[in-house]
Structure 1
Amino acid sequence: MERIAESIMLSWGGKRMVLAFGAGALAVLALPPFNFFAVLFVSFPVLVWLLDGASGSAEAGIVGRMRPAFATGWWFGFGYFVAGLWWLGNALLVDADGFAWALPLAVLGLPALLAIFYGAATALAWLLWSDGVGRVAALAAAFGVTEWARGFVLTGFPWNAIGYAAMPAPLMMQSAEIVGIFGMSALTVFVFSAPALLGTRRGAVAGMVAALLLFSLHIGYGWLALHRIDSADPAPARTVVRIVQPAIDQSAKWDMAERERIFARLLQFSAVSPRDGAPRPTHIVWPETALPFLLTENPGALSRIAGMLQVGQTLVTGAVRFEDGIGGAPQRFYNTIYVIDDEGQIIGSADKAHLVPFGEYLPFERLLRRFGLAPVAETFGGFSAADHRTTLSLSGGLNAVPLICYEAIFPGLSTLSGSRGDLLLNLTNDAWYGMTPGPYQHLRQAQLRAVETRLPLVRAANSGISAVIDAGGRVVGGLPLGEAGVFDVALPPDTDTVWSAGNRRFSFGLIIVILAMMAGFARRSKIQRFD
């Protein structure tokens, strides 16, 4: 291994770029749908060894000396995000005539921008770089900080944070309750970078023991947490949820000629009789923007919904909500969840607060529209964001925390001040991305929100993957990607949390401080050895 490490350290030019890009791309195999997390034991040691050899000219100043480390991390990140997000280009092909020109921007441009975060991580780590376990701690701390920053800079896009790669199964998801996804990202980098120490010997024993201990605690806590959930006295299941997955092709979704067929399909699936002896559903859930029209344009829709619903049933559906401008103000459209009772009355609604840049709205709109740019989902001219977020009241005394589409990837949106809610409600339309890894990655991130909050999660997706997930992140019912149909599941109970969102933020900060102190102490010891 020492020979391999030395060869990678001494690589230069194009070979160094290819190695960094390849190591990042390889790490994607740890993500859904592959879940082969062992590849990280290759990807991160390669990154460490590349950084060992990333030295700039001593006369170039600190920025010049950091540049090789930044470039190494940038190429690693570019490989990771190209391999992990290439499927975003599929959304542009739904309306190829209007958006195919932007394919390189989605497939290469966005990964190039996101890779800046990983370049920043390796540049920060270089400031505390040493020749032992300290450099692994420095890299872990820097990745934790930059993954956290990726969650809010320029509205945030924390998709595929490194921590998800260490959670291929519910047993390995439970630590997120204590440290959150960003703390998991830092610890993941530490554990999977530790084998790099075997290639340079110094600090190998201490680093590998620490990594083994962390991994054992990770697995051990997973077992304890799931055991605690399973040992709780189950409350009688009074809520039965029916998820409708219509699998409507995205290109047909807003076709005027297809609207009646789509609506009839939703009503037909919703009215399917339960299996023999099974209780009828109390709540029927349709996906994001399931209604293929504005309710104000189809006054008979509510009466048809009422005719489909049985007494006591409630429909929860995604829809586009229209709000007319007042006093010359422009019209507004919202990505909304409606709650409709058995009399066809709208008894609750919640609008999406965190919109997708370039998908649902156009940043710097006035400027960019001059260049002919428009949001990809501009059926109604783009969406407006909700002024505030609140729980959504359902029938049966349930309060749901609404997470529309990719709101589920933001940990902070799954908790609301003043109300924990009884469940998480995630309506989405991943049909934009076809039969690609995207929907699998989206589901995994939604699972982690259930673990962090210890709330069951109800997820309805147009083309999949629809699922009902318990407080331990386990899928208790669902439909696979691309399949049309319905399924009924008794809503799993929530579980008391042992660690709050505020405590998770504290845990994350403590992890970063400890890792940074380890790195700083090792750096200082190295300087003293050479003085």
Structure 2
Amino acid sequence: MERLAGRIILLWGWRRALTAFLAGALAVLSQAPFDFFAVCLVSFPVLVWLLDGATSAPAGPMRRLMPAFATGWWFGFGYFLAGLWWIGGAVLVEADSFAWALPLAVVGIPALLALFYGLACAVARLVWSDGIGRIAALAFGFGLAEWLRTFLFTGFPWNAIGYAAMPIPLLMQSVSVVGMIGMNALAVFVFAMPALLASQRHLRLGVTLAALLMAAHVAFGYVRLNAPVEANGENLSVRIVQPSIDLSEKWDAEVRDRIFRTMLDLSGAPEQEGARPQLILWPETSVPFFFTERPDALVALGDLLHDGQTLIAGAMREEGASTGSDARYYNSVVAIDAAGEIVDAVDKLHLVPFGEYIPFADLFASFGLSQFVAGPMNLEPGNERHPIALAGGAKALPFICYEIIFPALVAVDLASTDIIVNVTNDAWFGDTPGPYQHFRQAQIRAVETGLPLIRAANTGISGVVDPRGRIVDALSMNARGVLDAVVPLVRQDKQMFWKHSVNGLVILFFFGAIAAGLGLGQRLRPN
């Protein structure tokens, strides 16, 4: 092992960049749908050894950190390129118009995201030391970078490293204590520990700490999964509709009636079991027209729904067109009652840059650039999110598409929420790892919040997840059908999210303090 580490430390030029790239690409196998987390026990030690050799001639502090930054960037570029290549499918839905943007989607996004991992390695190298100190430094750097990735430049915390440590419900429960902030730092700390095998320095301490952390991770999961979920005595019967509509037809005016009829037929099919559903859930933008243009559609929905039923449907919403002013468009969910009336609506707050809106639109317009994926128009963000009151009294908090991947966003209004609802249209990405990764992150939000989650996706994966992250039932990718389920509502700690966020920050800065202390001690130690 010492010989291997030495060869990696001494790599230079393109060989160093390629090794970092391949180590990052290998680490993607730890994410859904592969869930082979053991690869991180190879990828991160390689990264540690590469950073051991990331030195430069004495110069200014920024120049001294550039080799470490470059190593982290190549690692991140491999990780995000291998993990997000499927984003390119979105721009190929209408290839005649958007194929030019394929390199920007497939290569440009990973290149930008890799900057965060470059930063992680540069920060770690600031407090680098021998032995376990550099493992703590890397954990702090990556934990900080993953936290920044949740909000900088609109945020995109997809495939955070911490998800690699949570492939099954048994291993998801720790996130309810330390949140994603803590999981990201702890996962890197354990994944990087085999790097100590090369030098033997602090090896016994490192093996002991890693073993204790993994044992605690498994034991806590076992105890929590076997502890009863405290129900509040109420159930919510739901029907999730997965229509599997071809995106090439999505905005085709000639087939809108057929699409809507498909939604009605699936929603009105005989119940598979149990009582009539109190909530019927349709995916994102599943209504193929504006209700303002088709009031007859609301009549049809009123005929479909019975007393005590609520439909939550993804729909495009229009404002301002009837007043003669410039129309504004929103990606929304609307709640419709048995009278065929829209009783509530929640607009998507966190829009997809270049997919649903153009940041710095005037600047990009001067270069002739518009949104990069097929769709009817540029959208406006909503103003606020609130739970939707259902006919039976339960309250559902809706999240549209990738809003569900943002832990802090999902924490809003938990005090008055009984169930989390996620509607999406992952048909943009076909049968690739993307929809599986998206579903996994939704699972983790259920564990973090302690609330059940129901999810409707156009082509999948639609399903019901309990407050411990267990999949109660789900529809497979590209299936057309409905899923009926009875979801027990639970009592939960309304402040859970903020508690585990604080715990996660404590862990993150603990690693930072340990790394800084050991690094400073090594610098002050006489030669």
1:322-380 alpha-carbon deviations (Å, 9 max, x no partner) = 00169875211011111111111111111111111001000011121222222245633
Give the secondary structure class of the aligned counterpart of 1:273: coil
Deviates more, 1:404-413 or 1:494-503: 494-503
- Determine the C-alpha separation between the residues in 1 that align with 2:234 and 2:475: 21
Question: Which residue does the alignment assign to 1:414?
Answer: 410
Give the secondary structure class of the aligned counterpart of 1:396: coil
Question: Which residue does the alignment assign to 1:114?
Answer: 113
- Determine the C-alpha separation between the residues in 2 that align with 1:327 and 1:121: 51
Give the secondary structure class of the aligned counterpart of 2:485: strand
Question: Which residue does the alignment assign to 1:6?
Answer: 6
- Determine the C-alpha separation between the residues in 1 that align with 2:325 and 2:179: 42
| Contact 1:348–1:394, Cα closer than 8 Å, also in 2 | no
Question: Which residue does the alignment assign to 1:55?
Answer: 55
| Contact 1:161–1:182, Cα closer than 8 Å, also in 2 | no
TM alignment of 1:443-482, pairs within 5 A:
443-482=439-478
Letter of the 1:409 partner, please give it: I
Question: Which residue does the alignment assign to 1:437?
Answer: 433
| Contact 2:138–2:189, Cα closer than 8 Å, also in 1 | yes
Matched, 1:297 2:296: no
Give the secondary structure class of the aligned counterpart of 2:415: coil
Residue 32 of structure 1, CA deviation:
0.4
Structure 1 unaligned spans of 5+: none
Letter of the 1:268 partner, please give it: D
CA RMSD of aligned residues (A): 1.6
Change over 3 Å in CA distance of 1:425–1:184 after alignment to 2: same
Question: Which residue does the alignment assign to 2:337?
Answer: 341
Matched, 1:64 2:60: no
TM alignment of 1:200-219, pairs within 5 A:
200-219=199-218
Give the secondary structure class of the aligned counterpart of 2:451: coil
| Contact 1:361–1:382, Cα closer than 8 Å, also in 2 | yes
- Determine the C-alpha separation between the residues in 2 that align with 1:306 and 1:336: 19
Question: Which residue does the alignment assign to 1:246?
Answer: 243
Question: Which residue does the alignment assign to 1:511?
Answer: 507
Letter of the 1:260 partner, please give it: D
Letter of the 1:393 partner, please give it: A
TM alignment of 1:116-155, pairs within 5 A:
116-155=115-154
- Determine the C-alpha separation between the residues in 1 that align with 2:322 and 2:125: 55
- Determine the C-alpha separation between the residues in 2 that align with 1:279 and 1:99: 46
Give the secondary structure class of the aligned counterpart of 1:489: strand
Runs of 4+ in 1 over 6 A off after TM superposition: none
Give the secondary structure class of the aligned counterpart of 1:395: coil
| Contact 1:471–1:492, Cα closer than 8 Å, also in 2 | no
| Contact 1:431–1:462, Cα closer than 8 Å, also in 2 | yes
Question: Which residue does the alignment assign to 1:79?
Answer: 78
TM alignment of 1:13-32, pairs within 5 A:
13-32=13-32
Letter of the 1:256 partner, please give it: A
Residue 420 of structure 1, CA deviation:
3.9
TM alignment of 1:153-192, pairs within 5 A:
153-192=152-191
TM alignment of 1:319-358, pairs within 5 A:
319-324=315-320, 329-358=325-354
Letter of the 2:336 partner, please give it: I
Residue 492 of structure 1, CA deviation:
3.2
Change over 3 Å in CA distance of 1:325–1:345 after alignment to 2: closer
Aligned-residue sequence identity (percent) comes to 51
1:11-38 alpha-carbon deviations (Å, 9 max, x no partner) = 1111111110000000000000000001
| Contact 2:120–2:145, Cα closer than 8 Å, also in 1 | yes
Deviates more, 1:313-322 or 1:498-507: 498-507
Change over 3 Å in CA distance of 1:418–1:184 after alignment to 2: closer
- Determine the C-alpha separation between the residues in 2 that align with 1:289 and 1:418: 25
Give the secondary structure class of the aligned counterpart of 1:334: strand
Structure 2 unaligned spans of 5+: none
Question: Which residue does the alignment assign to 2:268?
Answer: 271
Residue 65 of structure 1, CA deviation:
1.3
- Determine the C-alpha separation between the residues in 2 that align with 1:418 and 1:32: 27
Give the secondary structure class of the aligned counterpart of 1:201: coil
- Determine the C-alpha separation between the residues in 2 that align with 1:187 and 1:74: 21
Matched, 1:261 2:258: yes
| Contact 1:335–1:351, Cα closer than 8 Å, also in 2 | yes
- Determine the C-alpha separation between the residues in 1 that align with 2:34 and 2:416: 33
Give the secondary structure class of the aligned counterpart of 2:463: strand
1:186-218 alpha-carbon deviations (Å, 9 max, x no partner) = 100000100100111111111111111111111
Letter of the 2:88 partner, please give it: G
Give the secondary structure class of the aligned counterpart of 1:296: coil
Change over 3 Å in CA distance of 1:327–1:251 after alignment to 2: closer
| Contact 1:403–1:413, Cα closer than 8 Å, also in 2 | no
- Determine the C-alpha separation between the residues in 1 that align with 2:307 and 2:525: 79
- Determine the C-alpha separation between the residues in 2 that align with 1:83 and 1:503: 34
| Contact 1:243–1:487, Cα closer than 8 Å, also in 2 | yes
| Contact 1:180–1:508, Cα closer than 8 Å, also in 2 | yes
- Determine the C-alpha separation between the residues in 1 that align with 2:249 and 2:414: 41
Change over 3 Å in CA distance of 1:44–1:499 after alignment to 2: farther
| Contact 1:76–1:118, Cα closer than 8 Å, also in 2 | yes
Letter of the 2:236 partner, please give it: T
Give the secondary structure class of the aligned counterpart of 1:28: helix
Question: Which residue does the alignment assign to 2:378?
Answer: 382
- Determine the C-alpha separation between the residues in 1 that align with 2:92 and 2:397: 32
TM-score using structure 1 length: 0.96
Give the secondary structure class of the aligned counterpart of 1:492: strand
| Contact 2:230–2:491, Cα closer than 8 Å, also in 1 | no
Letter of the 2:46 partner, please give it: V
- Determine the C-alpha separation between the residues in 1 that align with 2:30 and 2:4: 23
- Determine the C-alpha separation between the residues in 2 that align with 1:185 and 1:22: 21
Match of 1:359 among 349, 355, 358: 355
Deviates more, 1:142-151 or 1:394-403: 394-403
| Contact 1:88–1:107, Cα closer than 8 Å, also in 2 | yes
Residue 393 of structure 1, CA deviation:
1.5
1:435-456 alpha-carbon deviations (Å, 9 max, x no partner) = 1000000001111110011000
Question: Which residue does the alignment assign to 2:93?
Answer: 94
| Contact 1:178–1:499, Cα closer than 8 Å, also in 2 | no
1:199-245 alpha-carbon deviations (Å, 9 max, x no partner) = 111111111111111111111111122122xx246555642111000
Residue 528 of structure 1, CA deviation:
3.3
Letter of the 2:242 partner, please give it: Q
Give the secondary structure class of the aligned counterpart of 1:427: strand
- Determine the C-alpha separation between the residues in 2 that align with 1:153 and 1:325: 34
- Determine the C-alpha separation between the residues in 1 that align with 2:108 and 2:281: 36
- Determine the C-alpha separation between the residues in 1 that align with 2:416 and 2:111: 37
Question: Which residue does the alignment assign to 1:427?
Answer: 423
Deviates more, 1:486-495 or 1:48-57: 486-495
Q: May I ask how many residue pairs the two structures share in their alignment?
A: 527
Change over 3 Å in CA distance of 1:326–1:252 after alignment to 2: closer
Give the secondary structure class of the aligned counterpart of 1:297: coil
| Contact 1:333–1:380, Cα closer than 8 Å, also in 2 | no
Change over 3 Å in CA distance of 1:233–1:516 after alignment to 2: closer
- Determine the C-alpha separation between the residues in 2 that align with 1:163 and 1:470: 20
1:296-347 alpha-carbon deviations (Å, 9 max, x no partner) = 1111101111122233222110000100169875211011111111111111
